[in-house]
Structure 1
Amino acid sequence: MIRVVLRLVLAAFYGFAGVMHVLRPEPFLSIMPEMVPYPEAIVFWTGVAEIAGAMALVQPFDIRLRRAAGIGLALYALCVWPANINHFAMDMAREDGGLGLPYHVPRMLAQPVLIVWALWAGEVRIPHRKDARAG
Structure 2
Amino acid sequence: MNKQTSTLQNIFRLILAAFMLYAGISHLTFNRVDFQAQVPDWVPLSKDLVVVLSGYVEIALALGLAFWKSQRVNFGWALAAFFLLIFPGNIAQYLDGKDAFGALNSDRARLIRLFFQPVLIVWALWSAGSWADYRSKKDKDK
Shared fold (TM-score, shorter chain, > 0.5): yes
Q: Does the 8 A contact of 2:40 with 2:89 survive in 1? A: yes
* Bigger relative contact order (CA 8 A; separation at least 6): 2
**1:100, distance to aligned residue in structure 2 (A):** 3.1
Selected match of 1:63 from 70, 81, 91: 70
**1:133, distance to aligned residue in structure 2 (A):** 5.5
Number of matched residues?
126
Q: Distance in 2 between matches of 1:110 and 1:70?
A: 17
Does residue 1:50 correspond to 2:48, yes or no? no
Selected match of 1:40 from 26, 48, 57: 48
Equivalent position of 2:94 in the other structure = 88
Selected match of 1:123 from 125, 129, 137: 129
Q: Distance in 2 between matches of 1:90 and 1:132?
A: 47
Q: CA 1:84 to 1:5, structure 2 compared with 1: closer, same or farther past 3 Å? A: same
Unaligned runs of 5+ in 2: 1-6, 99-104
Q: Distance in 2 between matches of 1:109 and 1:10?
A: 17
Q: Does the 8 A contact of 2:27 with 2:54 survive in 1? A: yes
Counterparts of 1:67-78 in structure 2 under 5 Å?
67-78=73-84
TM-score, reference length from structure 1: 0.82
Does residue 1:13 correspond to 2:19, yes or no? yes
Unaligned runs of 5+ in 1: 93-97
Name the Cα RMSD after superposition. Answer: 2.1
